[in-house]
Amino acid sequence: MQNLKSSMDGRFAGRRRFRFKVVVILLSICTIVGILIPLQQLLASQQSNYAIHSQQSFNQPQYYPLTQTVDSKLYQPIDNWVGRLILPQKDEIKDDSDWVWFEVQQAPPEVANLIKKVVRLQWKNQQQLKSYVKAVTRDVNFTSATVASQKQGNIHPQRLNNRSEVKPLQSLAGARPKDDVIVTVDNAEVIETNNQQILQISQEPILATGRFYGLVDIIQAKNQELFQVRHYNQKSAKFDGIEETIRIPQQVVDTRNIPPSTTYKLAASPAGNAGWYIYGAKNNQGVFVVQALAPRSLFQLQPDKIILGTETGRDYINQYWDIAATDKGKISKVLLDSTATESQQAISQWQEGDKLIILNLFGGIGGEKAESLGVPQTITGHFAFGIAEIIRSPFTKELEFKIKYHQIYAHNSDGIISGTQTWTNYMGNLQWGWLATRPVIDILIKFDPVSQDYNFDGITISPLNEFVNQLQIMMARYRVGDGTGNATVTPAASCIQDSSQALYTAIAVIKNLVKSNPRIQNWLQNHPNHPQTLRFEQLTSLGSALERSLVPLGIIRADWKSNVDILAGIGDTKEPFRDPSIWAGLTTWRTIMPRQAHSELAALFWKQGAKLWFLQTYQVGGWNPEIAPLAPTPLLGQIKLPFTNVPLISIILNRILASIFIPAWHDWLIASLALLIYAVIAIPFGLSTGFLHLQIWSNKPIYYLLLTLRCLLTPAITEEFFFRVLFLPHPTEVVNWSKWSIWAGLSLLIYVIYHPLNAKSFYKDGYPTFFDPIFLILATLLGLTCTITYALTGSVWIIIFIHWVVVVLWLAYFGGMSKLENKVNIIRNS
């Protein structure tokens, strides 16, 4: 009976434990489901920064009346033509032409009657424009990756989805969910057809902010958004003009947990010491509302520092991204000139009308509310090319930089569009500009062989225009993601990779044009000393240097080659493609990281004789104490040696990758000459001292093969990678020769000392040969030969070849084997 009771108690206890486990499991499942479902709903409905800011009335186009009256002494239109793009409905597009609607907000005086009207905007009837439109026309069909990206809060051209033959003007107008894209257009022509007014253009519209702009000194804040300002007086050339109350809206906090700009302490900003350009329009109450800010001092041709000389300029290029904590909120401008002998001479060479190449790069957001890193231990930043022109300010009559960016920009949460943008729209815009939140450096490059056109017996070549054409093609492709609606960032496809592809393509197009045209060839041959010929030779030299930098391994990417072939009319496909693979990225590894490309392109132009101007802003405008500027880094650049600022892993990766390119024929010629010089010195010296003597090693062919393989692995590969590649700055690095020589001497000394130490530790067969003074002299000569050859070629394969040949010949034919005690071990250990 007792046993039966115990058995029943056990069964009841077991059932209770089973029920308890079931309840726990069910509760766990409910908890997990309760967490996952809201999380999934959150992800599915995550707002974009664009959606958040678009809810604010002052960020909406309709907030600003189309009819505006401003004092022409205080404000100027930002351009002759300003308007809002409107995407036509599907059924409105009945032909193959590329057109959109254009709401005219500003027009030249002779056609001011068009203001408030909606006209048709289309391309002029020119063959080059037709070719451009055809090259970038795509059917747009969203992929699953595009839909997933939308759910994460990124802005994609939703209104273009499932449309056929989307063209560049349409992709610009339909880039955002709403018709709120504001642009300016240059060289527009008004025609009338069938009682319809049409605006024809020959250049792509430029993304812009505001309708009017003025130059003011911000005196004080009346509250968070209303500011008392004093306008610039053209007669006195001072800020003693009319006072006015304007509104500078405070933007709201978005998904980054910070606002994109702030008005806090704006009046006290040191960046405004020379005044501010304010961009915007009046609201219904007649108050001028600022949509973008631009510090006047940034654009003045008045550098804070001038650096003269090649070596000092190279040193500056090596450290211009060093940011101090005190730099926040400030502007810095540095001018580099390698030919001028005094400061005023350096400034005077920048003249009105000059056109300049821009290398644009922004860094990261640090501080209490730092942004998350997309790549571990790396601040990637964003790179873009641009074009600047030196103009005369309509307000001050001073020379200023007018900056436009050609932004190849992936789809994003802010609604920033891939396209040509004014500085004001990309940097100064209060809703999405980067002036207030990121450190930004623009390098302006003056190099006449690129910026000036060529006329060869009536055939005109414009390197700058060709470059811009290729950038425009890439920007249009990005807007529609080559038909997927999604331009994503990968190691092989990104802002810097595809900007570099545009540069590579422009170089290839010009090379093919010159090579295939006998008239150009004849002109160059008949005018060998003409200034244009000499300038063209500089362009050719620059092109070769850029190609080596853009294709560092000597392997041309398939997608890059396809693009060039299509433009040349020899491609086997109708549309270029993008290769996002890691291998494609490695073949153009120098342009994977924006920071590296920014610095190396600057150094390359500097080496070619260009003049450089560095415009630097470090979170300029209102003061946000919760963020700090962070410099962009190379890959893994935040991993540094303790107590130093040296990114060791990044340097090692860079040096290894830089050294493994495929050598050209002239590199092998240098190797042959280096071997010959070494042999001429080393063989007579070694024979005269008795250290070398002709003695052929007698052994089977298989042992000869093993010997050569062993010598290739060690010492050739191991020693050259360690003592040359890792120790020495690669020739492409921005290091002056005096510092490079110090590293070369140190590496050579350690290389020589290493041999006797190795004979006493790891390679005892080398004792006592590696202690012989004659051996050490010959080793020093070999190390010096490889060091100099590496400086000239930058190729590790070349110096490995030299080292390998010398060692194998010594061992097999000059008595080396007889000097090593355990000859058999050399073979067995191989």
Cα–Cα nearest to 564, from 556, 517, 613: 556
616 phi and psi, to 5 degrees? -125, 130
Question: What pLDDT, on a 0 to 100 scale, did the predictor assign at position 25?
Answer: 53
Asked if 809 contacts 682 with a C-beta cutoff of 8 angstroms, the reply is no
Q: Is the pLDDT of residue 430 over 80?
A: yes
Pairwise CA distance, residues 471 & 469, whole Å: 5
Q: Is the pLDDT of residue 772 over 70?
A: yes
Q: Is the pLDDT of residue 13 over 80?
A: no
Q: Is the pLDDT of residue 336 over 50?
A: yes
Enumerate the β-bridge partners of residue 618: 439
Pairwise CA distance, residues 785 & 805, whole Å: 13
pLDDT above 70 coverage of the chain, percent: 92
Pairwise CA distance, residues 28 & 23, whole Å: 8
Q: Is the pLDDT of residue 757 over 50?
A: yes
Asked if 619 contacts 329 with a C-beta cutoff of 8 angstroms, the reply is yes
Q: Is the pLDDT of residue 384 over 70?
A: yes
Confidence category of residue 45, pLDDT binned at 50, 70, 90: low
Question: What pLDDT, on a 0 to 100 scale, did the predictor assign at position 823?
Answer: 43
pLDDT, tens digit, 9 for 90 and up, residues 165-218:
999 999 999 999 999 999 999 999 999 888 889 999 999 999 999 999 999 999
In residues, how long is the chain?
830
Cα–Cα nearest to 76, from 404, 396, 387: 396
Asked if 670 contacts 789 with a C-beta cutoff of 8 angstroms, the reply is yes
Question: What pLDDT, on a 0 to 100 scale, did the predictor assign at position 542?
Answer: 93
Question: What pLDDT, on a 0 to 100 scale, did the predictor assign at position 94?
Answer: 86
Domain locations along the chain = 2-45, 79-207, 458-608, 663-828
Question: What pLDDT, on a 0 to 100 scale, did the predictor assign at position 570?
Answer: 47
Q: Is 645 exposed, middle or buried (0-12, 13-18, 19+ CB in 10 A)?
A: exposed
Question: What pLDDT, on a 0 to 100 scale, did the predictor assign at position 733?
Answer: 86
Question: What pLDDT, on a 0 to 100 scale, did the predictor assign at position 724?
Answer: 97
What does the block give as tokens for 628?
């700090």
pLDDT, tens digit, 9 for 90 and up, residues 569-609:
545 556 676 777 777 878 888 889 999 999 999 999 999 99
Question: Comparing 581 with 294, which gets the higher pLDDT?
Answer: 294
Mean pLDDT across 97-103: 97
pLDDT, tens digit, 9 for 90 and up, residues 721-738:
999 999 999 998 877 788
For residue 39, give the 3-state DSSP assignment. Answer: helix
Task: Name the CA radius of gyration of the chain, rounded.
Answer: 33
pLDDT, tens digit, 9 for 90 and up, residues 632-644:
999 999 999 888 8
Mean pLDDT across 699-727: 95
pLDDT, tens digit, 9 for 90 and up, residues 500-558:
999 999 999 999 999 999 999 999 999 999 999 999 999 999 999 998 888 887 777 87
Pairwise CA distance, residues 537 & 531, whole Å: 10
309: left (phi over 0), alpha (psi -120 to 50) or beta: left
Question: What pLDDT, on a 0 to 100 scale, did the predictor assign at position 551?
Answer: 86
Pairwise CA distance, residues 776 & 748, whole Å: 11
Question: What pLDDT, on a 0 to 100 scale, did the predictor assign at position 825?
Answer: 46
12 phi and psi, to 5 degrees? -65, -40
Pairwise CA distance, residues 620 & 633, whole Å: 21
The region of weakest confidence among 3-7, 223-227, 791-795 is 3-7
Which amino acid, 288? Answer: F
Q: Is the pLDDT of residue 86 over 80?
A: yes
The secondary structure of 93-109, three-state, reads CCCCCCEEEEEEEECCH
Pairwise CA distance, residues 332 & 426, whole Å: 19
For residue 256, give the 3-state DSSP assignment. Answer: coil
pLDDT, tens digit, 9 for 90 and up, residues 666-684:
999 999 999 999 999 999 9
DSSP string, 713-737: IIIIIHHHIIIIIITSPPTTSS--H
Confidence category of residue 493, pLDDT binned at 50, 70, 90: confident
Q: Is the pLDDT of residue 44 over 50?
A: no
Report the mean per-residue pLDDT for the chain. 91
Question: What pLDDT, on a 0 to 100 scale, did the predictor assign at position 737?
Answer: 82
Residue 762: partners with Cβ closer than 8 Å, 6 or more residues away? none
Confidence category of residue 491, pLDDT binned at 50, 70, 90: confident
Whole-structure pTM value: 0.90
pLDDT above 90 coverage of the chain, percent: 81
pLDDT, tens digit, 9 for 90 and up, residues 240-289:
999 999 999 999 999 999 999 999 999 999 999 999 999 999 999 999 99
Asked if 141 contacts 119 with a C-beta cutoff of 8 angstroms, the reply is no
Asked if 708 contacts 808 with a C-beta cutoff of 8 angstroms, the reply is yes
pLDDT, tens digit, 9 for 90 and up, residues 57-76:
999 999 999 999 999 999 99
Question: What pLDDT, on a 0 to 100 scale, did the predictor assign at position 386?
Answer: 98
Confidence category of residue 37, pLDDT binned at 50, 70, 90: very low
Cα–Cα nearest to 356, from 400, 418, 321, 397: 400
Q: Is the pLDDT of residue 4 over 50?
A: no
Pairwise CA distance, residues 17 & 9, whole Å: 12
For residue 153, give the 3-state DSSP assignment. Answer: coil
pLDDT, tens digit, 9 for 90 and up, residues 228-248:
999 999 999 999 999 999 999
Cα–Cα nearest to 336, from 350, 324, 326, 322: 350
What does the block give as tokens for 290?
């600022």
Residue 506: partners with Cβ closer than 8 Å, 6 or more residues away? 463, 466, 467, 469, 470
Question: What pLDDT, on a 0 to 100 scale, did the predictor assign at position 195?
Answer: 84
